[in-house]
Amino acid sequence: MTKPLAQLAYCTNVHPGDTLARTKSMLEQHATRVRGLFAPNGELGIGLWLSAQSARELLADADGVARFRDWLAERHLAARTLNGFPYGDFHNETVKTRVYHPHWADPNRSLHTLDLAKILVGLVAPGTRTASISTVPIGWRSDFTNEGCGASVGLATAQLEWVAERLAELADATGVRVTVDLEPEPGCLLDRAEHAVSLFDQCFNTDETRAHLGVCHDICHSAVMFEEQDDALALYARHHVRVGKIQVSAALSCHGAPKELAELAQFAENRYLHQTCVLAGSGDVRFYSDLDLALDEMPDGFWRTHFHVPVHLDAIGRLGTTAKEIPTALVMASHDDPPCFEVETYAWTVLPPHLRERDLAAGIAKELAWTRAALVEAGFEVDPREATP
């Protein structure tokens, strides 16, 4: 029996890229070295992150996308998918909740996403039928409860439907069906599979809309919410919500012992939000919007923290990780219509100093090799263009 073909990529949001020149510089410095370590005889799949400014710069030149595609090809880099979540400078000194802006009730999010779609159809390999853009899961929940009608869910869903219509036109013109895949994340309006399914059933219930709107399942995010990976993915399948991308990622976990929490405190840092959930013995889950808030209260229970750690590590010191959940998600991924598999460990550079890899590219290559083996174990064949070293 022929195994389903899986496309594997690593997400380049781990590298600064507020401008196109910076993006290319980081790809030249890091992605080419990852390729040399992971797939020296083939090409390296990347999940490309482009800031809004970088995307505008590419589209300002009539031949900009074609030239960028050729530039990538010369370096044996292949854009498999785009990460459309961060809009601005994802490596600013402080990002935190800014990463959710603009949310989907803001037209700037729609316009940026359409820019990315125009770029993506020009970057993917000839013959590509479907390509994914992952995006904000509507927005940060408190923005929608505090801002009133300017951040209404109705306005957000109307924007998404409008984008789906434009993507249908783009598919007719290019033959590439781009899907915008909402990525549930702790603390957002959609932070569990059941929330995403409810939204689709209520608002996106036509085949035409669902052809271009789907879900990006981030394994770390789901684990932090104490979802069972197989339950979440089975729920999407039952409700015919397509999973266009699975982000292969792992969270931190611990049992809440004092020495464990002392080590966990080293992961509290100022750039990114590290949402934390604590599962009490009663079965209740307590949510904290950031790690330092949880550490202030020190609740009893089993802790999981949204800090993307290297996926090939089962433990970091006294702390555990949720890497063991990754194989379950890979097995549950559709084998008839496989999603893109994107390794997304963007937090390498904010790990506690003693845990950082001296060679970032080597660390990413280890993650890709681990994920490739896990995909094979799950019954997939990895894209042969990514030759085994």
Q: What distance in Å separates the CA atoms of residue 14 and residue 34, rounded to the nearest whole number?
A: 13
Q: Which residues of the chain have pLDDT under 70?
A: 1, 147-150, 384-389
44 contacts: CB under 8 Å, gap ≥ 6? 10, 31, 34, 35, 38, 76, 77, 78, 386
**AA letter at 89:** D
Measured CA to CA in angstroms, residue 257 lies from 9, 178, 215, 284, 295 at distances of 36, 46, 35, 19, 12
Residue 298 backbone dihedrals phi, psi, to 5 degrees = 50, 55
Measured CA to CA in angstroms, residue 71 lies from 13, 74, 225, 320 at distances of 19, 5, 40, 40
Report pLDDT for 384.
66
Q: What distance in Å separates the CA atoms of residue 248 and residue 253, rounded to the nearest whole number?
A: 16
E strand spans, 294-375: 302-309, 315-316, 319-321, 340-343
In the structure, how many helices (H) and strands (E) does the chain have?
15, 15
**CB of 311 within 8 A of CB of 348?**
no
**AA letter at 90:** F
Query: What number of other Cβ atoms are within 10 A of residue 2's Cβ?
Result: 5
Residue 138 backbone dihedrals phi, psi, to 5 degrees = 75, -60
Q: What distance in Å separates the CA atoms of residue 165 and residue 209, rounded to the nearest whole number?
A: 7
Report pLDDT for 94.
96
Report pLDDT for 2.
78
Nearest to 89 by CA among 26, 12, 16, 10: 16
Burial class (CB in 10 A: 0-12, 13-18, 19+), 323: buried
> Nearest 5°: CA angle at 328, between 323 and 329?
90
Report pLDDT for 243.
98
Q: What confidence tens digit (pLDDT) does each residue in 147-161 have? A: 666 678 999 999 999
Q: What distance in Å separates the CA atoms of residue 99 and residue 170, rounded to the nearest whole number?
A: 27
Sort strands 177-182 and 130-135 into parallel, antiparallel or unpaired: parallel
Report pLDDT for 389.
43
Q: What distance in Å separates the CA atoms of residue 167 and residue 213, rounded to the nearest whole number?
A: 10
**AA letter at 297:** E
For residue 202, the number of C-alpha atoms closer than 13 Å in the C-beta half-sphere is 10
DSSP state of 186: T
Burial class (CB in 10 A: 0-12, 13-18, 19+), 228: middle
Token look-up 């709107």 returns 213
Report pLDDT for 150.
67
**Which structure tokens are listed for 4?**
């389903």
**CB of 307 within 8 A of CB of 316?**
no
Query: What number of other Cβ atoms are within 10 A of residue 282's Cβ?
Result: 7
The structure's pTM equals 0.97
Question: Domains in the chain, ordered, with CATH?
Answer: 5-250+321-382 (3.20.20.150)
Percent of the chain whose pLDDT exceeds 70: 97
**Which structure tokens are listed for 7?**
């496309």
Tell me which H or E stretch contains 9. strand 5-11
- Roughly what angle, to the nearest 10 degrees, separates helices 107-123 and 64-74? 50
Q: What distance in Å separates the CA atoms of residue 21 and residue 17, rounded to the nearest whole number?
A: 8
Strand partners, 288: 276
